[in-house]
C-alpha cells in the first residue's frame, strides 16, 4: 500500500522549484518521481533584491508572498499532470517556502519564509504542511538546519563515519558519526557567492563545471580576508543565509583590491571548499572506521568544488548521495515530504542537539 507525500523546496539559490513524490512508511522512504520547475526571471530578480537590500514595502512583500504561493501551487499541479498522479492519493504536501530572511540570534529571533500555503492548499486541493522552522525557534532553537533528522533516518550507518553535505546557496552538514550525538549546521557559503559573481560579470546563472573559475588563480590574501568573517568563529548550533553572505558583503571585502574577476571566482570556489573542510576536520571521528562525505545539491555537480574537497579531506571518500540511492538534486524536496509525513503522524522532527531547541517537537502547520 502506498503512502504518498509531495515535497517542495525552493532554496537559497532560487534556481527553481524542486518537487518530489515520495512513498513513506515507518521503515522506508522511496522517491517515485521528481521534477524541477523554473523560477520566472522577474520574480527571482525581485526576491534577490528583497533578500540582499532588505528594502521593501508592505504591499510589495504581500504581493510577492502571493506570487510565490501561486507559483508553488501551479508547479505542483503541473507536476501532478506531468506524472499522471491522482491528487486524491496524496496524503499531504510539505512545502518549505522561500526564505527571505533568517535571524535566529538577537533579542527577537525570527525567520521568514514566504509563499502563502493557503493558496497552495486551495489551488491543489491537498492538505499542505508549511512553516516548519518557527516552532523550533519558539523553543529556543535556530530553526535550522532541519534536514539532518531526515539524513539520520535514511543515511546513518553504524559502521561508517558519515557526513552528509548539501551545497546549495548555503552549505550545511549533517554529522552521522557512530556513538556520537547527531549534529548539523551551516558551514557557510555554497553557491550563493559563485552564482552572484558570475551573473554580475558574465550574465550567467552559474559557473557550469567550474570552467570560469578554472581560468583564474586563487588569491590567498583575499581568501584570508573572506575567512575572517565572525560567523566562522561561532560554535554550532548555527545557521546563516543570504542575509549575511551576498554580493554586497563580497563587494565590501573587495574594497581596495585589484583582482581579475576570474581570480575572484577561483578564490570563491576555494573559500567554499575550505570553509566546509575546516569544519569536517574538527569532527571527532571513530579512527577505526571508514569516512564518507556524501555530497548533494547543486555544488555536487561542480567538479572543481568536488576536487578541492577531496584534496582538503584526504582521509575521506568524497561521493555523491546518488551513490547511496538518493538523487542529490531531490534531497531537500524529499526531506520536506518526510517532514510532512512526520507532522501528519505527530512525530517530533527536529533534533535539539542540531538546532539548539530545548526539546524535540512536531514541526509544521496544517493548511487545508
Q: Provide the annotated binding site for ATP.
A: 11-18
CA angle 96–32–30, rounded 5-degree value: 80
Q: Are strands 170-176 and 183-189 parallel, antiparallel or unpaired?
A: antiparallel
Question: What is Dmax (Cα atoms) for the chain?
Answer: 63
**C-alpha pair distances (Å), 212 with each of 46, 199, 215, 248, 257:** 27, 12, 5, 21, 20
Distance (Å, whole) CA 156 – CA 168: 21
- Residues that constitute the known binding site: 11-18
Q: Which three cell numbers stand for residue 324?
A: 547511496
Q: Where would I find the beta strands (DSSP E) of the chain?
A: 4-9, 17-24, 29-37, 90-95, 98-103, 110-114, 128-130, 161-167, 170-176, 183-189, 291-296, 317-320, 365-367
Amino acid at each position: 500500500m502506498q503512502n504518498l507525500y509531495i515535497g517542495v523546496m525552493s532554496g537559497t539559490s532560487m534556481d527553481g522549484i524542486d518537487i518530489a513524490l515520495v512513498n513513506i512508511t515507518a521503515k522506508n522512504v522511496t522517491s517515485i518521481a521528481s521534477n524541477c520547475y523554473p523560477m520566472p526571471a522577474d520574480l527571482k530578480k525581485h526576491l534577490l533584491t528583497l533578500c540582499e537590500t532588505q528594502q521593501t514595502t508592505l504591499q510589495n512583500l504581500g504581493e510577492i508572498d502571493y506570487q510565490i504561493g501561486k507559483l508553488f501551487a501551479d508547479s505542483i499541479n503541473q507536476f501532478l499532470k506531468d506524472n499522471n498522479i491522482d491528487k486524491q492519493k496524496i496524503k499531504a504536501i510539505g512545502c518549505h517556502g522561500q526564505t527571505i530572511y533568517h535571524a535566529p540570534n538577537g533579542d527577537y529571533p525570527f525567520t521568514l519564509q514566504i509563499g502563502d500555503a493557503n493558496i497552495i492548499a486551495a489551488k491543489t486541493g491537498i492538505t499542505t504542511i508549511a512553516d516548519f522552522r518557527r516552532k523550533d525557534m519558539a523553543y529556543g532553537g535556530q530553526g535550522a538546519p532541519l534536514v539532518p533528522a531526515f539524513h539520520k533516518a535514511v543515511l546513518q550507518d553504524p559502521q561508517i563515519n558519515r557526513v552528509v553535505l548539501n551545497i546549495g546557496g548555503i552549505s550545511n552538514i549533517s554529522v552521522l558519526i557512530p556513538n556520537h550525538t547527531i549534529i548539523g549546521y551551516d558551514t557557510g557559503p555554497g553557491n550563493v557567492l559563485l552564482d552572484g559573481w558570475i551573473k554580475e560579470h558574465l550574465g550567467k546563472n552559474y559557473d557550469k563545471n567550474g570552467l570560469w573559475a578554472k581560468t583564474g588563480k586563487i588569491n590567498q590574501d583575499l581568501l584570508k580576508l573572506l575567512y575572517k568573517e565572525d560567523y566562522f568563529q561561532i560554535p554550532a548550533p548555527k545557521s546563516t543565509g543570504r542575509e549575511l553572505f551576498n554580493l554586497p558583503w563580497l563587494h565590501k571585502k573587495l574594497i581596495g583590491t585589484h583582482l581579475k574577476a576570474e581570480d575572484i571566482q577561483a578564490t570563491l570556489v576555494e573559500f567554499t571548499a575550505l570553509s566546509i573542510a575546516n569544519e569536517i576536520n574538527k569532527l571527532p571521528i571513530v579512527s577505526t572506521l571508514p569516512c564518507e562525505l556524501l555530497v548533494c545539491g547543486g555544488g555536487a555537480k561542480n567538479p572543481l568544488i568536488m576536487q578541492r574537497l577531496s584534496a582538503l579531506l584526504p582521509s575521506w571518500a568524497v561521493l555523491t548521495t546518488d551513490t547511496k540511492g538518493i538523487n542529490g538534486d531531490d534531497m531537500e524536496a524529499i526531506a520536506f515530504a518526510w517532514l510532512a509525513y512526520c507532522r501528519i503522524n505527530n512525530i517530533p522532527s527536529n533534533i535539539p542537539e542540531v538546532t539548539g531547541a530545548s526539546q524535540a517537537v512536531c514541526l509544521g502547520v496544517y493548511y487545508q
